[in-house]
Amino acid sequence: MKMEKRSFSMEEVVAYCNQYGFIFQGSEIYGGLANTWDYGPLGTRLKNQLKDEWRKFFIQQRENSYEVDADILMNPRVWEASGHLAGFSDPLLDCRECKTRHRADNLIQDYDTSVNADAMSEEEMMKFIRERQIPCPVCGKSNYTDIRQFNLMFETKRGVTDDRANTIYLRPENAQGEYVNYLNVMRSMRAKLPFSIGQIGKAFRNEITPKNFTFRTIEFEQMEFQTFCREGEDIELYEYFKEYGKSFFESLGLPADKLRFHDHDKLAHYAKAACDIEYLFPFGWGEINGTHNRTNFDLTRHQEYSGKSMEYYDDTAKEKFIPFIIESTYGLDRLVLALLFEGLHEEQISETDTRVVFNIKPALAPVKVNILPLIKKRHSVKAKEIQKMLSRYFMVQYDEAGSIGKRYRRGDAIGIPFAVTVDDDTLENNTVTVRDRDTMEQQRISTDDLSGTIADMLGM
Ligand code: GAP
């Protein structure tokens, strides 16, 4: 019989994440805080493994690549220099009837998906909304205020006095943490161009229309990679990092035919060229990476605002210049979401039976081995020995509750690639059965060097 598979809907993914400990609603016991999400034990594990993979791909396997961990709170002059205080805003309007607030570009895009609202000016957006009488998504009327620009940065206060001079910001992107440390990294690592600085960390944006679960939230994690280069090398590096980013996603199990490039017409204030890598979510194509040619905009501005020279001295050519930057940024929460949509299935396994299975790449599975004593009374001591031994190398789970079939299903549902069953043969001749999550086939394997065998099977 052919095993039919069905992917999950958004509602099913949200329910699954809550049921199995991947992602919970933020501050749930207080009724939540809109569009904040807390990662549970399995979601945290998945995220951490994605960070490790990113580090391998971007820091470990690349020459002249350095990681930093800069503070989220920065001197507010950083955000003046970067242009975020003046220009990092969304075009918002209010519905005069029901008093809800909306993003003008989203109203247009949701009304007519063939229109590129990104490329429209504020006036063009207003005209489009008024001429077509686009209805308010909440009350259905079409009576809006004019568009106003609303800065996306979260403000907070430093110290005890509540005046403007004490306002600081939660960073809206990681990038500035890499830029303000460019001189430090270059000096301490004796780095020569081209070199890269990467960073994994939280960013915050006061998005008023967060939506689609963890796709657009107000607090999220970015994995950012900034490559400092000579002007002239920038165009080739920009193209290179678009492809490198796509190959990173493919290496994690996102299929090439569900990934595409989206070149931007309208550019952020810092960019000369910009392209997103998009994944085909059930709600449509959504950005999971942004790659930008930021020219020498940021470093030039930091030189201007800080008074510190940002020049690089090329001692072969005997010349000084401010490097260009190619940035490639990966949204970690969106990547987790894409992997959940890609991997979660309900699979028909017989005429009458189905199972939930998370077909994630084994090396990324939150738990690698499910250790199951066939009969609790007879096999649990040996199974616990095996658990202890394997847990030195992998995240493992021990499960003795219920029938073996039920225990396999529970493991399949959270994507455990291998189930090790301990039975009488284990006691007699030190072999276990190892069941593969995807094929459900079993093989008998010696417990001598079981960890090595499993590491090989995981491709680690
Ligand atoms: N430093 C450049 C930068 O921040 P961006 O395109 O604004 O560029 C990069 O963001 C990535 O961060 C996006 O591709 C997306 O994956 C993620 N991201 C941006 N805003 C987000 C939000 N509100 N919620 C979740 N992820 C977000």
**What is the C-alpha separation between 161 and 406, in angstroms, rounded?**
60
**What is the C-alpha separation between 330 and 287, in angstroms, rounded?**
9
What string of DSSP letters covers 73-114?
A: B--THHHHHHTHHHH-EEEEEEBTTT--EEEHHHHHHHH-TT
Q: Are residues 271 and 201 part of one domain?
A: yes
pLDDT at 9: 96
Q: Are residues 410 and 275 part of one domain?
A: no
**What is the C-alpha separation between 119 and 359, in angstroms, rounded?**
38
Position in ligand 1 atom list of the atom nearest CA 289: 14
CB 289 less than 6 A from any atom of ligand 1: yes
CB 106 less than 6 A from any atom of ligand 1: no
Nearest to 454 by CA among 387, 407, 400, 356: 387
What is the 337 CA–ligand 1 centroid distance (Å)? 14
pLDDT digits (tens, 9 = 90+) for 12-25: 999 999 999 999 99
Alpha carbon 248 to chain centroid, angstroms: 12
Across the chain, which has 460 residues, the per-10-residue mean pLDDT values are 86 98 97 94 98 98 97 97 91 92 90 84 92 93 93 90 84 98 97 97 88 93 98 96 98 98 84 94 96 96 98 95 98 98 96 95 97 96 97 97 95 98 96 96 93 92
pLDDT at 117: 84
pLDDT at 2: 66
**What is the C-alpha separation between 295 and 292, in angstroms, rounded?**
9
Q: At what angle do helices 376-390 and 450-458 cross, to 10 degrees?
A: 70
Position in ligand 1 atom list of the atom nearest CA 276: 14
**Residue ending a domain, choose from 100, 118, 150:** 150
pLDDT at 247: 98
Position in ligand 1 atom list of the atom nearest CA 205: 23
CB 173 less than 6 A from any atom of ligand 1: yes
pLDDT at 210: 63
Q: Which helix (H) or strand (E) holds 251?
A: helix 234-251
Alpha carbon 329 to chain centroid, angstroms: 9
Which residue owns the Cα nearest ligand 1 atom 8?
Answer: 290
Radius of gyration (C-alpha) of the chain in whole angstroms: 26
> Residue 125 is part of which domain span?
90-150
Number of structural domains the chain divides into? 3
Q: Ligand 1, from 47, 212, 220: best to mutate by most atoms within 8 Å of Cβ?
A: 220
Q: Which CATH number belongs to the domain containing residue 318 in this structure?
A: 3.30.930.10
Token pair 């780095």 is found at 191
pLDDT at 34: 87
Q: Are residues 146 and 158 part of one domain?
A: no
pLDDT at 164: 73
Helix (H, G, I), strand (E, B) or coil at 247: helix
**What is the C-alpha separation between 350 and 355, in angstroms, rounded?**
10
CB 290 less than 6 A from any atom of ligand 1: yes
CB 334 less than 6 A from any atom of ligand 1: yes
Which residue owns the Cα nearest ligand 1 atom 21?
Answer: 216
Q: 194 preceded by cis ω (within 30°)?
A: yes
CB 176 less than 6 A from any atom of ligand 1: no
Contacts of 331 (CB under 8 A, 6+ apart): 220, 221, 222, 287, 288, 289
**What is the C-alpha separation between 24 and 40, in angstroms, rounded?**
7
Amino acid 413 reads A
Which pTM was predicted? 0.93
What is the 331 CA–ligand 1 centroid distance (Å)? 6
CB 222 less than 6 A from any atom of ligand 1: yes
Q: Are residues 97 and 55 part of one domain?
A: no
pLDDT at 457: 93
CB 91 less than 6 A from any atom of ligand 1: no
Q: Are residues 114 and 54 part of one domain?
A: no
Token pair 């950005």 is found at 287
pLDDT digits (tens, 9 = 90+) for 393-436: 999 999 999 999 999 999 999 999 999 999 999 999 999 999 99
pLDDT at 267: 79
Distances (CA, A) of 296 to 76, 324, 446: 21, 4, 59
- Please give the torsion angle defined by the CA atoms of residues 106, 107, 112 and 113, in that order, rounded to the nearest 10 degrees: 20
Q: Are residues 293 and 161 part of one domain?
A: yes
Whether 56 is covered by a domain: the verdict is yes
Contacts of 1 (CB under 8 A, 6+ apart): 348, 350, 351
pLDDT at 322: 98
Q: Which CATH number belongs to the domain containing residue 425 in this structure?
A: 3.40.50.800
Amino acid 417 reads P
Nearest to 154 by CA among 200, 210, 203: 203
Q: Are residues 163 and 139 part of one domain?
A: no
Q: How many residues does the chain have?
A: 460
- H helices then E strands: how many in the chain? 15, 24
Q: Ligand 1, from 118, 212, 287, 335: best to mutate by most atoms within 8 Å of Cβ?
A: 287
Q: Are residues 428 and 323 part of one domain?
A: no
pLDDT at 40: 98
User: At residue 417, what are phi and psi to the nearest 5 degrees?
Assistant: -70, -30
